[in-house]
Structure 1
Amino acid sequence: MERTIDQELRMRQATIDDLDGITKLAIEAFPDDPERDYRFPYRHEYPEDQWKWTGLEYEGFLNQPESYDILVIEAGQRIVALGIWDVSGLTGAKPVKPGVLGDNERRDANLPHMRYFASRVDEVYDMHFSQFGSKQLHLVNLATHRDYRRRGCGAALCKYGMEKAEREGFVATVFGSPMGIKLYTSVGFKVIGAEPMIMPGDEGGLITTALVWGN
């Protein structure tokens, strides 16, 4: 499976030394994502809270290399794309999810929305992906800085995990936002379901789509 990115870009394994660069990317990569608006509507008013809790979230992933395979793509010394694959099905590790960080403390979030979204992700995962058991690699997070979109970063990060899943006879799974579905289907993922992600009674059309590859 070919993975092609622009020549000036380089993909490598992330380390804990990349935490600040990853945090910066995670904050900057989703300015137009309705999911971020739903969970963190005050992130521009309280950037220090957004930085603190986002950093702690990614530190949690980086401190579990036996559970999460984390890739970054660099342009020079700048991290411009990130992919996090849950590989615990391969290693037998028991991943600890970062969870709802800063509950009752952070000011950048709509706390009820943040809590509900986190619990809803678990519900929807069970609905659509539990059928695959441990024989899956799950793409937890994919982010590309908007200045580097359409240059092969997202596809390369997807195909990294898809190749690993194929070698092991696993499937690859991912939740797609409206922004991400086009990318995932372009590399071969198939839609198997879609679920609302907003609290009952809330207005809006926030939907997450479950996709699988290799089934």
Structure 2
Amino acid sequence: MKPRLGVPVDVEAVTNVIINTMPLDPQWDYRFPQRHQYPEDHYKYTRMLFEYFLNPLYDDWLVMVVEDSLHSGGPAEVVSFGVWDVSYLNKRRYGPGYRPQDRKSLLIAVMTEPSVEERGGKTRRDANHEHFNDFWKGQIRAYKKFFAPIGPEQIHLQILATLPEFQRRGHGSSLCTWAMELVRRDSLRDMSVMASPMGHELYMWLGFDSVGTFYIQVPGEEEMVVLQAMMYMPPKLRRAIAVRDADSGCLMV
């Protein structure tokens, strides 16, 4: 159950996990209401997104996977994975002039990337395009509001998914625990996540704090997505902040 680094050959397995897991999350219906009518589009463009995440050239992002046996006695296969923004590594390596790989461009790559557009990305039939674009724009606004002020010394959990039949076996927890240890080991300030109702309980159990609620809603529509901005801070930093708040702004570490 120990997480390992995801590599490009994992793309089929990771795509299978996301397609079979995310329909449990309300935001998936919000963005992809026509996925049952057009399963070929849904698979094709979902796979494209994870080709980007698993591509070593996009090293601001890191995919970790957990394997288990899908069948008794069978070989271990990917059943759970997480995607993190780890751009702090390149910011440390290249200094303040480093320009991170654009979050928005990558996350909506399956709609706008020229090579994807040539393959039909702007006309994919499984998505509500207005909802899709508003969802990512809303996430970017929320990230800037709740997490960007913390600075570059943090990681952000973008996606966490476990096959339904393997949930509540510790796979998602092991991925989060791996990342929480990374926060402590690399002296980062926090790990952030924008949690849906599906993940909120897990993050609370792991010790994350809710720092705000935000809503994604196209103007004039009643349908919306409600997400929680959540944050894990290492114990040492949490104690330091508590001392600062109790001592009228005098930070003690």
Counterpart-to-counterpart distance in 2, 1:39 and 1:182? 23
Kindly provide the amino acid, as one letter, of the partner of residue 207 in structure 2. G
Alignment of 1:88 with 2:87, yes or no, is yes
Q: Is the 8 A contact 1:10 1:75 kept in 2?
A: no
Counterpart-to-counterpart distance in 1, 2:186 and 2:5? 20
1:111 counterpart (129, 136, 139): 129
Deviation at 1:66, TM superposition (A): 2.5
Kindly provide the amino acid, as one letter, of the partner of residue 123 in structure 2. E
Which has a greater percent of helix? 2
Q: Which residue of 1 aligns with 2:46?
A: 54
Q: Which residue of 2 aligns with 1:5?
A: none
- The structure having more radius of gyration, on CA atoms, is 2
TM-score, length-scaled by structure 2: 0.78
1:99 counterpart (102, 107, 110): 107
TM-score, length-scaled by structure 1: 0.91
Deviation at 1:33, TM superposition (A): 1.4
Deviation at 1:169, TM superposition (A): 2.0
Counterpart-to-counterpart distance in 1, 2:230 and 2:123? 34
2:219 counterpart (192, 200, 207): 200
Structure 2 residue runs without a partner (length 5+)? 70-75, 92-97, 112-120, 239-253
Q: Provide the aligned length of Structure 1 versus Structure 2.
A: 207
Kindly provide the amino acid, as one letter, of the partner of residue 177 in structure 1. S
Deviation at 1:154, TM superposition (A): 1.1
2:61 counterpart (68, 72, 81): 68
Deviation at 1:166, TM superposition (A): 1.2
Counterpart secondary structure, 1:200: coil
Same amino acid, percent of matched pairs: 35
1:125 counterpart (143, 146, 154): 143
Counterpart-to-counterpart distance in 2, 1:63 and 1:184? 27
Deviation at 1:204, TM superposition (A): 3.4
Deviation at 1:31, TM superposition (A): 2.3
Q: Is the 8 A contact 2:157 2:192 kept in 1?
A: yes
Deviation at 1:96, TM superposition (A): 4.2
Counterpart-to-counterpart distance in 1, 2:205 and 2:227? 17
Deviations for 1:111-169, whole angstroms, at most 9, x for unmatched residues? 11111111111111101001111011111110011101100111111111111111222
What RMSD over aligned residues (CA atoms) do the two structures have, in Å?
A: 1.5
- Give the 5 Å matches for 1:123-202: 123-170=141-188, 171-202=190-221
Structure 1 residue runs without a partner (length 5+)? 1-8
Counterpart-to-counterpart distance in 2, 1:12 and 1:185? 24
Deviation at 1:30, TM superposition (A): 1.6
Deviation at 1:10, TM superposition (A): 4.7
Q: Is the 8 A contact 2:218 2:224 kept in 1?
A: no
Q: Is the 8 A contact 1:144 1:153 kept in 2?
A: yes
Q: Which residue of 2 aligns with 1:4?
A: none
